[in-house]
Each structure stands twice: as structure tokens, then as C-alpha cells.
Amino acid sequence: MTKKPLILITNDDGINAPGLRKLISLVKNLGEVIVIGSEYAMSGMAHAVTIQNPLRVRVVTEEPDYKEFLTTGTPADNIKLGKHRLSERLPDLILSGINHGSNAAINIIYSGTMGAVLEGTIDGIPSIGFSLDDFSHDADFSHVDEYILAIIKKVLNDGLPKEICLNVNFPKISNKPIKGIKVCRQADARWVEEFEERKDPHGRSYFWLAGRYENGDKRNDTDEKALADNYVSVVPSHTDFTAHNYVDKLNFSL
Amino acid sequence: MTKKPLILITNDDGINAPGLRKLISLVKNLGEVIVIGSEYAMSGMAHAVTIQNPLRVRVVTEEPDYKEFLTTGTPADNIKLGKHRLSERLPDLILSGINHGSNAAINIIYSGTMGAVLEGTIDGIPSIGFSLDDFSHDADFSHVDEYILAIIKKVLNDGLPKEICLNVNFPKISNKPIKGIKVCRQADARWVEEFEERKDPHGRSYFWLAGRYENGDKRNDTDEKALADNYVSVVPSHTDFTAHNYVDKLNFSL
């Protein structure tokens, strides 16, 4: 008898986020599932790991082939704990999300959801992040099922190249049908920051990070273009930050 | 009269870290300098940004052409604040470090120091991270001066391609002289985690993230190889996570 695949799941919106619950409901029957959530809000935590403090872990649910843990760590911590402590073997698949909010383009660099996914890749485990281009808590996830299941089943069957993970983004639901899945590049879009200054009751300033999103990347093969055209975008992503085109072009000899 | 270049500096080891003080002492006369430090320890904070809470900013030092601020933010927040709030114009150069500890290979993904540098790149500002392969607080930085100054002066003169920043690492000091500067690739090395379980005085478990560093990348053109050979390593790095080799190879059609 073949062992059921072990699937590790985390997210950065909290363990009760509807996006996470949706993802769990889709994969619960595909294997042995371990969910590791963070006690605190972890949006914007990127690939942060907890090295100054120890971590606490609490068992929330324990059923046959299904466990939920809650930790004081970040999403990347959760994956480290899951890989090396909370499961008896290395997972066959790591999933993160479904994030409330797009992680297309530059958002991958700030995303706790994608930090967890990239952490999975470091040990060569097939890892996929799912995000919806809708920040709201009561976002509608009803159009994602068949695409998530198709992607997960293909990855469970075929695996992924050792060095890559998938950054999957869904357009916000609309009355237009999803056109399909597009494998594409990360768009060169960015946030243009503004800090909003306010005064506390004692007259002291504090600053809220705000800003607007700007996509100046007009190429046709980007994740932002795919989403705008109502496709599910899939960007094969990796942990190599090297700008390989420049290695032979730079010279800093003294 | 040409305006002095505006240089923004941050780090992730705290505003009193000897590595930061060393970097400040090297560049203080090269331009107008603004230092933005974090009040709390930010090692391992990666590209985390503060979106759940507002930020506080405190002026620590204010001299002609030299200012120091202390914030409640992460290194990436500090750069956002510096770019868009605490200076009157966009900086000409962003520096981060000198980090106590290497940021070669996979360490870039966990590094608050390099998170700040990558954040600088997002606005197309030439940005450089400096790190020393020595974690200790009283690390010896006396072999770095000429290399840091050479790299900074070249970047101030020539700029950097808009999309790239530099991840510069120094070998720990030894009785062998530094051989020079090598422009190279990020090695495919990683941490093999182990969590150390302890019991608190109430008998409850807590876990310390620990582990050992493993470099299985035997190629000759990596940052780890350059450091092992006593070179200063420079990796041109960018914020594009796309694994471009796979964009045309993957297929998730339904």
C-alpha cells in the first residue's frame, strides 16, 4: 500500500482566514494534512524567521490524518517547524494561502505567504503559494477550486524541478469566466510609498505605511497582464537572487 | 556647485553595532549622510514591512550633513521612511551593514540587512549591502576599509544598472591578506534546521531555531567559494524571483 502524501499548509492571514479554510477543504482528502498557523498577523512578514526568541507550539486539532498547530512564529518558521519537528517525515507538498490579496509582481518580496513557499523550496520540497487579488476578509473564493485542484494534482504526480516553487495568483471574481492558466514572469511593478502622519492623543507623531501600486511593465508575458486578462497566473520562482546577466559585466578590481 | 550625494544607511544589528559604526565612519565625509536604525533587533527579518502597526521615529543626532534616526520599523521600513519621508530628496546611494555575519548564499533571503538593500533597488537607487563572515559583536572589521571605499566610490561615480543591487561579503579577518574582489553568483547552500526543545519553569515546551550550514555547491564561481579563497565576494542581486528557465517548460493547462 502506498503511503498517503503528506501535505503541509500555512498562510499569513491567521488560522481562521477564509482563504486558508478554503485551501484546507480542497486538499483534506488528498493526503495526510498538517496545518501550521501563526498566532499573530503575519502579512508583510516576508521571509522573516524568529532567531531572537524561542517559539511556542500549540496543538489545536488532532484527527486521523489531520492536524492543526498554532505557533508564535512567522510563516517561514511554520514551514521550518513543519519540515523538521512537527511531522515525522519530510512533507511531499507544501502549500501556502489562499492569501487574501495578490502576491503577483513585487508583492512576492513582502509576502509571508510566499516566504513560506520559498522556505519549502530550500529543502527541495514541491511548494505552491496561492493568492487571490482581493484583500477583503470576505473575499469570494468560489472560482478557484478546479484550478487549485488541477495544479496540486499535477504537482503531486509529476513533482517540480528541485529549485523552483510556484507563485499562483487568481483574479478577483467577476462575471467573466476565468480563461485558463498562464505560466508567466513576475511583472516589474512596485508600490509607490507614502507615509501618512498622524498625532496620538499626546501630540506625538506616528506614521502609517500607505501608498499606491504602479505597474509600468507593459510586456505581455507578466503575471499582472495574465491577471488583468482574467487568467490564473503561475510564476515559477526560486531563491536565487543573482542577476546572472551582470555577473560578467561588473568589475570592481582595485 | 554640485550638491553632495545623499547617502542613506541602515542595518539590522542595532544602531550601536560596531559594523554600522564602521560603515558610518568610512562614508561620513563622502556626502550628506542619513542613518536610520531600528530600535529593536532585526536580524532574520528579511524583507518584512510593518503594515499592522504605525511606525514611530525619533531623532537621535542632528548635525550639518549628518542625521541619525531611530525607528520602530524593520530595515526595509527604514529605507521606505528614508526614501519617502525622512529626506527631502531621493537618496543617491543606499548602504546597509556592515552586518555581523555572512549574507552570502541563501542567507540573503533571511537577512534584514539585504532586505533594506533590495528595497532600495525597487526605486532604482544604487544600493549596497556589506556583511562580514563573523557573527560576534566584537568582530574585527579592520581589513574592509579600502574595499568598501573602492566599491562605494565606483558606484557613486558610475551608478549601477537600475534593476540590480550589490551583496558584498567579506571573509573573517585572518593572517592571510585579502586577495581582491570577485564578482560571483549566489551559492546554492542552505541551513539544515534543528529545533532545540527546552522546558520553561512551568514544564511547558519551547523551541529554539538552530541548525548547521551546509554548502553542497562545488562550482567555482560562487560567493561561498570566493570567501573560502579569501576574496571579497560581490553578487549582483535583484528582486525578480522568476526562474526564467522554467517559464516555457511548465504547462498547467486544464
What's residue A183's pLDDT? 98
- Which residues on chain A are in Cβ contact (under 8 Å) with B91? none
Residue of chain A nearest B153, judged by CA positions: A252
Whether A41 maps to a domain, the answer reads yes
Residue spans of beta strands (DSSP E) within chain A: 6-10, 32-38, 57-63, 66-71, 93-100, 127-132, 165-170, 181-183, 189-199, 205-215, 232-237
* Cα radius of gyration rounded to whole Å, chain B: 19
Cell of B199: 522546558
User: How do residues B190-235 score in pLDDT, each as one tens digit?
Assistant: 999 889 999 999 999 999 999 899 999 999 999 999 999 999 999 9
Name the β-bridge partners of A66: A33, A63
Does the pLDDT at position B1 exceed 70? no
Mean of pLDDT values over B145-166: 96
Chain B residue whose CA is closest to A115? B109
What are the cell numbers at B33?
A: 549622510
Q: Tell me if A168 sits within 8 A of A130, measured CB to CB.
A: yes
Q: Interior CA angle at B36 toward B32 and B41, to 5°?
A: 150
Residue in B54, B180, B234 nearest the CB of A208: B54
**In this structure, what DSSP letter does residue A82 have?**
I
**A233 inside domain:** yes
pLDDT of amino acid B2:
65
Q: What is the ipTM of this complex?
A: 0.94
CA–CA gap between residue B71 and residue B94 (Å, rounded)? 17
Torsion of CA A22, A23, A26, A31, to 10 degrees: -140
Instruction: Decide if A247 and B147 are in contact by the 8 Å CB cutoff.
Output: no
Residue B211 lies in a domain: no
- Residues B25-37, mean pLDDT to the nearest whole number: 97
Q: What is the pLDDT of residues B36-72, one digit of tens each?
A: 999 988 999 999 999 989 999 999 999 999 999 999 9
Angle between helices A145-158 and A18-27 (to 10 degrees): 50
Disruptive mutation site among B69, B106, B109, B231 for chain A (greatest number of A CBs within 10 Å) = B109
By the 10 Å C-beta count (0-12 exposed, 13-18 middle, 19+ buried), B91 is classed as: buried
DSSP state of A2: P
How many CA atoms within 13 Å lie on the side-chain side of A110? 22
End-to-end alpha carbon distance in chain A: 63
Residues paired with residue A7 on neighbouring β-strands, in sequence order? A33, A93
Q: Which residue has the higher pLDDT, A210 or B254?
A: A210
Name every residue whose Cβ is closer than 8 Å to that of residue B195 and which is 6 or more positions away in sequence.
Answer: A55, A80, A81, A84, A85, B207, B208, B209, B210
Question: Which residues, 6+ apart, have CB-to-CB distance to A202 below 8 Å?
Answer: none
In a domain, B39, yes or no: yes
C-alpha cell at A98: 489562499
Inter-chain CB proximity A242 and B236 less than 8 Å: yes
Domain that holds residue A229: 6-188+220-242
What is the reported pLDDT for A2? Answer: 65
The answer to whether the bond into B98 is cis (omega within 30° of 0) is yes
Does some domain include residue B176?
A: yes
Domain harbouring A102, CATH code: 3.40.1210.10
Per-residue pLDDT tens, chain A, 254 aa: give them: 468 999 999 999 999 999 999 999 999 999 999 999 999 889 999 999 999 899 999 999 999 999 999 999 999 999 999 998 999 899 999 999 999 999 999 999 999 999 999 999 999 999 999 999 999 999 999 999 999 999 999 999 999 999 999 999 999 999 999 999 999 999 999 999 889 999 999 999 999 999 899 999 999 999 999 999 999 999 999 999 999 999 999 998 77
Burial A68-98 (b: 16+ CB within 10 A, else e): bbbbbbbbbbbbbbbbbbbbeeebbbbbbbb
Q: Is residue B194 part of a domain?
A: no
Opening angle at CA A75, ends A67 and A30, nearest 5: 40
Look up residue A206 and give its three cell numbers.
Answer: 506616528
Tell me which residue of B41, B43, B107, B121 sits closest to B79, measured CA to CA.
B121
Mean pLDDT of B162-178: 96
User: Cα dist. A123→A40, B44, B61, B128, B240 in Å?
Assistant: 26, 18, 45, 28, 21
List the end-to-end C-alpha distance of chain B, in Å, as a whole number: 64
A14 inside domain: yes
Q: Strand B181-183 and strand B165-170: pairing?
A: unpaired
Beta-carbon count within 10 A of B252 CB: 17
Task: Select from B56, B83, B243 the Cβ nearest to the Cβ of A163.
Answer: B243
In degrees, to the nearest 5, what angle opens at C-alpha A29 toward C-alphas A26 and A32?
110
Q: What DSSP letter does each residue of B16-42 carry, written as one string?
A: T-HHHHHHHHHHTTTSEEEEEEESS--
Give residue A88's identity as a one-letter amino acid code. E
**pTM confidence score:** 0.95
Residue A11: strand pairing partners: none
Residues across chain B = 254
Instruction: Write out chain B residues lying below 8 Å of A41, CB-based.
Output: 52
Q: Where are the alpha helices (DSSP H) in chain B?
A: 18-27, 75-84, 107-110, 112-122, 145-158, 223-228, 244-247
How many structural domains does chain A have? 1
The grid coordinates of residue A117 equal 513557499
Report chain B's mean pLDDT, rounded to a whole number: 95
User: For residue range B117-149, what is the model confidence (pLDDT) as tens digits?
Assistant: 999 999 999 999 999 999 999 999 999 999 999
Mutation site, B13, B158, B252, B253, interface A, largest A CB count within 10 A? B252
Question: Is residue B14 included in any domain, yes or no?
Answer: yes
